[in-house]
Chains A and B, each alone.
Chain A
Amino acid sequence: MNERSRVDGRPFDLDSLAHTRGDELLRLAFLVCGDRDLAQDLVQATLAAMLERPPEAIDDVLGYARRSIVNRFVDERRRSRRARDHLHVLAARETTASDVQAAEAEREVIRSALATLQPRERVAVVLRYYVDLDDAAIADHLGCRPATVRSLLARGRARMKKHFDQHPDTEERP
Chain B
Amino acid sequence: MSEPWNTDDEHRLTRGLDLLAEAAPSRHDLASWTPLQQRGPRPSRWAPFAMIAAAAVAVATVSAISGVFNQTTGGPQQDRDGDPAASAPLTSGSATSSTGSAVVEPDAVRAAAAPLAALESTPGFGRVVLDLDRGRVTVFWRGQPPVAVTQRLGTTATGVVVELTAADYSQADLSAAADRLLRSQDADLPAIFLARPRPDLSGLIVEAAAGSTAPDQQARIAAAAGVPVDVVPGVAPVAQ
Residues of A participating in the B interface, judged by any CB pair closer than 8 Å: 13-15, 17-19, 22-23, 26-27, 29-31, 33-41, 43-45, 47-49, 51-52, 74, 76-91, 103, 106-107, 109-111, 113-115, 118-120, 122, 125-126, 129-130, 157-158, 160-162, 164-165, 169, 171, 173
A-B contact pairs, 6 of them (CB 8 A): A31-B21, A76-B237, A86-B191, A87-B236, A88-B234, A107-B22
* CA of A120 to CA of B235, assembled, Å: 12
B225-240 vs A, Cβ < 8 Å mask (1 yes, 0 no):
0000000111111111
Q: Does B30 contact A (CB under 8 A)?
A: yes
* CA of A103 to CA of B12, assembled, Å: 12
Residues of A with C-beta under 8 A to B65: 18, 22, 43-44, 47
Determine if B71 and A106 form an interchain contact, defined as CB atoms under 8 angstroms apart. no
Determine if A31 and B24 form an interchain contact, defined as CB atoms under 8 angstroms apart. yes
Nearest neighbor of B45 in chain A, beta-carbon distance: A81
Q: Does B55 contact A (CB under 8 A)?
A: yes
* CA of A34 to CA of B16, assembled, Å: 13
Determine which of A44, A110, A120, A158 lies in contact with B36 in the assembled complex, contact meaning CB atoms within 8 Å: A44
Please give 4 more A-B residue pairs, beta carbons under 8 A apart, in addition to A22-B66, A30-B23: A47-B65, A82-B48, A125-B13, A173-B11
Interface positions, chain B 10-26, Cβ under 8 Å from A, are: 10-26
Nearest neighbor of A104 in chain B, beta-carbon distance: B19
* CA of A80 to CA of B43, assembled, Å: 11
* CA of A171 to CA of B194, assembled, Å: 35
Counted as pairs of residues, one from A and one from B, with CB atoms less than 8 Å apart, the total is: 220
Given the interface contacts A88-B210, A90-B210, A119-B237, does A22 sit within 8 Å of B19 by beta carbon? no
**A20–chain B nearest beta-carbon distance, Å:** 9
Determine if B21 and A27 form an interchain contact, defined as CB atoms under 8 angstroms apart. yes
A-B pairs with the 8 shortest C-beta distances? Answer: A14-B69, A22-B27, A79-B47, A110-B16, A83-B191, A48-B35, A30-B24, A77-B237
Q: Does B188 contact A (CB under 8 A)?
A: no
Nearest neighbor of A13 in chain B, beta-carbon distance: B69
* CA of A43 to CA of B5, assembled, Å: 32
Interface positions, chain B 182-239, Cβ under 8 Å from A, are: 182, 191-194, 196, 199, 205, 207, 209-211, 213, 232-239
**B228–chain A nearest beta-carbon distance, Å:** 16
Given the interface contacts A79-B47, A106-B16, does A119 sit within 8 Å of B235 by beta carbon? yes
* CA of A110 to CA of B11, assembled, Å: 12
**A45–chain B nearest beta-carbon distance, Å:** 4
**A5–chain B nearest beta-carbon distance, Å:** 16
Determine if A161 and B213 form an interchain contact, defined as CB atoms under 8 angstroms apart. no
Residues of B with C-beta under 8 A to A113: 13, 16
Determine if A44 and B35 form an interchain contact, defined as CB atoms under 8 angstroms apart. yes
Determine if A44 and B34 form an interchain contact, defined as CB atoms under 8 angstroms apart. yes
Determine if B233 and A107 form an interchain contact, defined as CB atoms under 8 angstroms apart. no
Which among A48, A80, A82 has the highest number of chain B CB atoms within 10 Å?
A80
Residues of A with C-beta under 8 A to B236: 77, 83-88, 118
* CA of A27 to CA of B20, assembled, Å: 9
Given the interface contacts A18-B69, A47-B69, A88-B210, does A79 sit within 8 Å of B36 by beta carbon? no
Determine if A74 and B238 form an interchain contact, defined as CB atoms under 8 angstroms apart. yes
**B216–chain A nearest beta-carbon distance, Å:** 15
Q: Does B169 contact A (CB under 8 A)?
A: no
Q: Does B92 contact A (CB under 8 A)?
A: no
* CA of A86 to CA of B37, assembled, Å: 31
Q: Does B29 contact A (CB under 8 A)?
A: yes
Given the interface contacts A13-B69, A41-B58, A76-B51, does A83 sit within 8 Å of B19 by beta carbon? no
Given the interface contacts A14-B70, A40-B30, does A79 sit within 8 Å of B17 by beta carbon? no
